[in-house]
Amino acid sequence: MKIDDKTITCIACPNGCEITVSFDENGNISNISGNKCKNGIAYAQSEVTAPTRILTSSVLVENGDFPLVSVKTASPIPKELMREAVKQLAKCVVKAPVHVGDVVCGNILNTGVDVVSTANVGTK
Amino acid sequence: MYDVFIIGSGVSGGFIALELSKYNLKVALCEKSLEPCGGSSRANSGIVHAGYDPIPGTLKAKLNVRGSELMPEMAKRLNIDLNICGSYVIAFNDADDQKVYELYKRGITNNVADMTVLSGDAVRKAEPNISDKVTSALYARTTGIISPYKLAITSSELATQNGVDFLRGNEVVAMEDMGGYIKVITNKGSYDTQYVVNAAGVYADKIANMLGDNSFGIIPRKGEYLILDKNESGIVNSVIFQVPSDMGKGILVAPTVDGNVLLGPTSHNITDRDDKSTTKPGIAEAVAGAKRSVPTVNERALITMFAGIRAVPSTGDFIIGQSAANSRLFNAAGIESPGLTSSPAIGEYVVKLMAESGVALEKKKQFFMQRPAEKKVCSMPPEEACKLIESNPSYGKIVCRCEKVTEGEIIDAIHRPAGAVTLDGVKMRVRAGMGRCQGGFCTSRVIEILSRELNVPETEIRKQNEGSELLYRVLRDPEAKQ
Amino acid sequence: MENTITQQYIDKDLVIIGGGPAGLAAAAAAKENGIDDIVILERDKYAGGVLRQCIHDGFGLKIFGERLTGPEYAARYEEKIRELNIELKLNSFVLNVTPDKIVQALSPEGMLFYRAKAVILAMGCRERTRASIMLPGTRPAGVYTAGLVQRLINIDGYVPGKEAVILGSGDIGLIMARRLTLEGVNVKAVYELMSYSSGLKRNIVQCLDDYNIPLYLNHTVIEIHGRNRIEGVTVAKVDEKKQPIPGTEEFVKCDLLVLSVGLIPENELSKSAGAALNKVTGGLFVDDNMSTNKEGIFACGNVVHVHDLVDYVTLESVNAGKCAAEYIKNGSANGDIINVVPENGVRYVVPNTVHRDSQKDSVNFMFRTGNVYRDAKIAVYDGDRLIKSIKKKILTPGEMETVKLTADEIKSVKGEIHIGVEA
C-alpha cells in the first residue's frame, strides 16, 4: 500500500525547512524535497523511519539533600515510548547519595537503554 | 459568648478591635479572608489626608481631622512607616483654580493646618516633574502616605496580642437575634455575642440587613492602580492629586512608603462587589491620568497592577453608630475615602458610642500599647545584623531578592499573633514577592517555609483564600509508587 | 547602608558575584591565569544557577562536543571549581557593590564586607512578568513565569496545575510545554505575540510538534480570569501593531498560565557599582576584555546580554576571568578605544568597545537581530569601508550571531566598527 507523503520540520539549523518525504509502493523513501541543504536529507531519513529522542526527567530520591534527581536516557529511545517511560520513572526511587552517571533505572521498557542520573545529590 | 463580635478586619475593624482590646471584654475579630484585611483596606491609595476635602460638619470631616492627628502616634505604636510627605491638588484651568481655592477655604473651616495656594511655577519648583500646564495648586503639608494593608494587619495583630480572637476564613452567612444575644453564623460555625460591630466594607449593607437594618446601601466603586519600580522613585516626592469630582479624588501620582510610585485610581461604579480585575481601558486611563499630572511617568517600569473596591455609602457620609433597627448592632459602614485616615478615629468613636449606649467598659490591667518592631536585617547596622544572624542564621538567608527579605523575617511574620498563613499574607507583612520580579524567584521558597512552619503540605499552601492553592500535586509521590 | 570606620574588611584579589555558569567559568579561568585569592558569592543554596533546573539536554555542544543536560554541564564546572580549590560561598546574597569595589554580602555567617582588587559581575537575568506585558484581569493563583514553573517541577518537585496555557514561545516556554505534557498536564496551546517564535527550531519540533501542542503565532492572552485559582484566559489574534483584533477573542479554560515572555539582565548591583548599561537590552556595557566602564569591574554572562546557549556564556566568561586576572596582575589595558555600533536591523552588539591593540588574536562580536531575515548578509564596516560580509540563510532574534574580527582587521579600523544586516 502506498504511504502518504510526510512533512517534517528540519531541525538541523535555524532555517527550519519544511521537508516533504515521499514513498514508493514498497514503503521505501522515493523522494525528499524542500530541504535547502544536504543536512536535511539525513535528518528527514531518520525522522521518518525511526524517530528517537533523549528523554529527560526526574526521579525521587530517598534521604537526599534535594527531593529529586534529574535523569536522562543514556541514548535516544523511540519517540513513541516517551510518555510510558516517564510513567516508569515515576515509580522509581533511588537512595542518596547519587552521582552524575549512576544508573537509576536499567534497560527502561526493554529498550536496552539505561536511565542515568544527571546531577549529584548528597545525603540529607 | 463574646461581648463584641466585629465583622471585617480592614482598617476600621482593626482599630475598633484594638480600641476594644483595652477593656475587659471578650472580643472576636471575624474575617472572611484567610488574612486580616481582605477587602477595601487592602487596595487603595494609602493616603493620610490632611482633611480639606470633606464637607464641613460631616462625620467624614470630623473623623478625617481627628484620624490625621492620631495617625503619627498610631504608626509609631504599630511600628509601621508613615511619611508626612505633603500633597498638591493641581489645577489646569480657571475652573480648577476656583476649586483649589474652595478646597483651601474648606480646609480652613475643617481646621486643617499648614495649607498654601501656590502658583504653577511655585509647584514646579517644588516638584519639577509636574506638568507645565498646571496653573495653581493647593499644598497641604500634613498629607502623608502609609501602607494601608500594613495598617490594617498590624492593628489586627496588636489587637490579637491584646487578647482579641482573630477568626480567619469565617464568612458571616446569617445572624439571628436570640433575645438576650445575637447568634452569628459563619461558613465555619456559629458564635454567640452580646454586640455585633459591622465593619464589613463593601458588604456592610448585607450584614446590616441580616439584623433587619435596611437603612443604607453600599455602592461598590472600582479603582484600578499601577505600581512602578523603585527605580522610578523620586519622580514625585509628595502626593499629586488632581481636583476632585463627584466620583472621588481623581487619579494621583504618589510615592509609596516602600519607595515605589503609585498611579491611579480610576473610579467606576460596578455591580459585582468582588470584581477586583484590572482592565485594559482602566490601565490606559490610569496611565493617561497620571501623565496629565506628571508627563514623564514611565509606565514601562510597571511592576504590578491591582484594583480595589471602595465602599461608597448611599447616604454620602460615613454610617457609624448604633443601629436603629437593632440595638445590639453597631455599624461602621460606608467607609470610603477618607476612611483610611479616619480609621484610628473610627476605632475611638465607635467605642465611645458603645460606652454611651451602655456597654460596660472596664480597663484591663495589662494592655500592650506597642507592637514589637519587626526585624529588618538589611536596614540594620552591620554589627546588629551580625549579632542577630549569629543567634539565628535564618536571618542571614535572603529569600526575596528584590525586596531583600530574609527567611528569619518570614518566619517571624508567620508566628506573630494573627500571623501569615498564605503567600499573600507573607507578602503583605514583609514584602517578599512584592518587588520587581513579582515572586518569580521567591514564591517556591516562601511556599516551602510556610509549609514547614505551619506543618501543612506544600500542596495546601494558598495564595490568598480557600481555593487559591498554589500547587496542584507532588511530582513524585512515594505513596503512589507500586 | 552606611559602613562604619571600624568595619572589618575581607581582602580578596577577585570577588565574583554569582555562582552560575558565568561565575564558575570566570573563576576557573582567573585561577588558571594565576589568581589564587578568589571568592564566588552565590545567593542560592546550590551553585550552577539556572542550569540546575534546566534538566533538558542540548547544552555543551560547542564546548564539550556532547549534548549534556543543564545539571551535567553545571556539575563539570562545579567539579573544576573544587579541583582548583576556589572558595564558593553559598546562600550569600550581595547587597551592594561600590565603584571602589567594596562588596557587601549577607550570609548565614553574618554581614560580610569584601574589599576586592577586581570584581566580576555574573548575576544573570530574571524573567519578565505579567506586569511587563501589562496583562490585565484578576490576580489568582496559577499564573507563573516559566522559570518558576521549571523550578517548582524540577527542583522542588511539584506540578503546579493540570490544564496549562503557555504565553510566549521562548525556549523556556517550549521546554516547559514538553515537561508538563510528559507529567500528565494538558498543555492546551502556546500563544506567541510575534509572527515568529523566539525559541530554537529544535525546541519547536521536539517540544511542541512531537506532542501535537499547537503554536499560535500573532496571538496573545488579553485577560486572566478566576478569583482564587485561575479559571481561564481570553486570547485574541493581534494585528501588525500587536493590538488585539476585535472579534477574535476566545476563552480558553485552564488552571495554569505559564508566562515565557522574555528575560532581562539583572543589573541592580551593577547600577550601585556605577557601571553603565545598554538602554536597548538592559545589559552592561563592556569592552573586549569584558570590563565595564568602572575600572576593575568586569562582567559576563546574562548580566551583559541574554544568551541563547550556555556555551557562549562560558566562552565569554573565560575571557572575563582571564582579563580580570590580567588586570589584577598588571592593571588596566590602555590604548586606543574603538566604538562598536549596531545598525540596520542589529539590535545590539557585545562588546560595545574594543581596544585597537587588543592582545588577543581575534575578537568575537556577539549580537542579535530585531527581526527575521532570510538570505541576508551580516556586514561589518569601518565608515564606508566594508571589512567583512558573511552570508546567512537566516537570521532570527531567537539566535545569537557571532562575527569574528582578527587583530589585524581591528587594528586597521579608522573610525568605528558598524555591524548591520544587508540584503
Of the candidates C261, C284, C315, which is a domain's last residue? Answer: C261
> E-strand spans in C238-384?
250-253, 256-259, 263-265, 297-299, 337-342, 346-350, 353-355, 362-369, 373-382
Q: Can you say whether residue B46 is alpha, beta or left, with left for phi > 0 and alpha for psi between -120 and 50 degrees? A: left
How far B476 CA lies from chain A's nearest CA (Å)?
Answer: 6
Reported as a pLDDT band with limits 50, 70 and 90, residue C1 is very low
User: A53, A56, A98, A113: which to substitute to probe chain C, counting the most C Cβ within 10 Å?
Assistant: A56
Taking only the tens place, the pLDDT of each residue in B274-308 is 999 999 999 999 999 999 999 999 999 999 999 99
Average pLDDT over residues A3-31: 85
Residue C362: which CATH number? 2.60.40
Are C145 and B406 within 8 A, CB to CB? no
Residue from the list B381, B458, B472 with its beta carbon closest to the beta carbon of C162: B472
Same domain, B423 and B395: yes
Same domain, C169 and C248: yes
> To the nearest whole percent, how much of chain B has pLDDT over 90?
97
Average pLDDT over residues A57-82: 96
User: B474, B476, B479: which to substitute to probe chain A, counting the most A Cβ within 10 Å?
Assistant: B476
Answer yes or no: are the C-beta atoms of C387 and C411 closer than 8 Å: no
Same domain, B322 and B449: no
Which pLDDT score, from 0 to 100, does residue B305 have? 97
Reported as a pLDDT band with limits 50, 70 and 90, residue A10 is confident
Which chains does chain C touch, 3 or more C-beta pairs < 8 A?
A: A, B
Contacts of C131 in chain B (CB under 8 A): 302-305, 438
pLDDT at residue B108 is higher than 80: yes
Contacts of B458 in chain C (CB under 8 A): 156, 158
Residue C207: DSSP 8-state? I
Are A119 and C182 within 8 A, CB to CB? no
* B–C interface: beta-carbon pairs under 8 A: 154
Which chains does chain B touch, 3 or more C-beta pairs < 8 A?
A: A, C
Same domain, B237 and B344: no
Which pLDDT score, from 0 to 100, does residue A36 have? 82
Are B306 and C139 within 8 A, CB to CB? yes
Taking only the tens place, the pLDDT of each residue in A72-93 is 999 999 999 999 999 999 999 9
pLDDT at residue B140 is higher than 80: yes
Taking only the tens place, the pLDDT of each residue in C80-132 is 999 999 999 999 999 999 999 999 999 999 999 999 999 999 999 999 999 99
B32 touches chain C (CB under 8 A): no
> To the nearest whole percent, how much of chain C has pLDDT over 70?
98
Q: Which amino acid is at C344?
A: N
Same domain, C397 and C251: no
Reported as a pLDDT band with limits 50, 70 and 90, residue B478 is low
Taking only the tens place, the pLDDT of each residue in B42-77 is 999 999 999 999 999 999 999 999 999 999 999 999
Are A58 and B475 within 8 A, CB to CB? yes
Same domain, B306 and B320: no
Which pLDDT score, from 0 to 100, does residue B480 have? 61
Query: Active site residue: B7, B14, B44, B49, which one?
Result: B49
Of B74, B83, B138, B85, which is closest to residue B112 (Cα–Cα)? B138
Residue B268 annotated among the catalytic residues of the structure:
no
Query: Which element (helix H / strand E) includes B305?
Result: strand B302-313
Are A91 and B478 within 8 A, CB to CB? no
Taking only the tens place, the pLDDT of each residue in B76-92 is 999 999 999 999 999 99
How far is C-alpha C367 from the geometric centre of its chain's CA atoms?
13
ipTM of the complex: 0.96
Are A68 and B476 within 8 A, CB to CB? yes
Residue from the list C75, C202, C394 with its beta carbon closest to the beta carbon of A119: C75
Residue B371: DSSP 8-state? P
Same domain, B128 and B91: yes
Range of the domain at B259: 84-144+219-310
Same domain, C112 and C68: yes
Taking only the tens place, the pLDDT of each residue in B345-361 is 999 999 999 999 999 99
pLDDT at residue C150 is higher than 80: yes
In the structure grid, which three cell numbers stand for residue B46, read together? 494609602
Average pLDDT over all residues of chain C: 95
Query: Class assignment of domain A56-117?
Result: alpha beta
pLDDT at residue A14 is higher than 70: no
Average pLDDT over all residues of chain B: 96
Contacts of B475 in chain A (CB under 8 A): 58, 68
Range of the domain at C183: 129-261
Reported as a pLDDT band with limits 50, 70 and 90, residue C393 is confident
DSSP string across B1-67: -EEEEEE--SHHHHHHHHHHTTBS--EEEE-SSSSS--SGGGSS--EE--S-SSPTTSHHHHHHHHH
Average pLDDT over residues B157-181: 97
Which pLDDT score, from 0 to 100, does residue C198 have? 84
How far A119 CA lies from chain C's nearest CA (Å)?
Answer: 5
**Total number of domains constituting chain C:** 3
pLDDT at residue B268 is higher than 80: yes
Same domain, B61 and B152: yes
Residues of chain A with CATH 3.10.530.10: 56-117
Taking only the tens place, the pLDDT of each residue in B397-429 is 999 999 999 999 999 999 999 999 999 999 999
Same domain, C230 and C288: no
Query: What percent helix, strand, coil does chain C show, rounded to 5?
Result: 25, 35, 40
Same domain, C138 and C227: yes
Same domain, C35 and C99: yes
Residues 241-300 (B) with a CB less than 8 A from some CB of C: 274, 276-280, 282-283, 299
Average pLDDT over residues B445-471: 97
Global pTM? 0.96
Are B440 and C126 within 8 A, CB to CB? yes
Range with the poorest average pLDDT among A32-36, A59-63, B320-324, B452-456: A32-36
Which pLDDT score, from 0 to 100, does residue A73 have? 97
B473 touches chain A (CB under 8 A): no
How far A71 CA lies from chain B's nearest CA (Å)?
Answer: 13
Reported as a pLDDT band with limits 50, 70 and 90, residue B482 is very low
Same domain, C201 and C322: no
Residue B365: which CATH number? 3.50.50.60
Minimum CA–CA partner of C53 in chain A: A70
How far C158 CA lies from chain A's nearest CA (Å)?
Answer: 10
pLDDT at residue C385 is higher than 50: yes
Which pLDDT score, from 0 to 100, does residue C200 have? 83
pLDDT at residue A1 is higher than 70: no
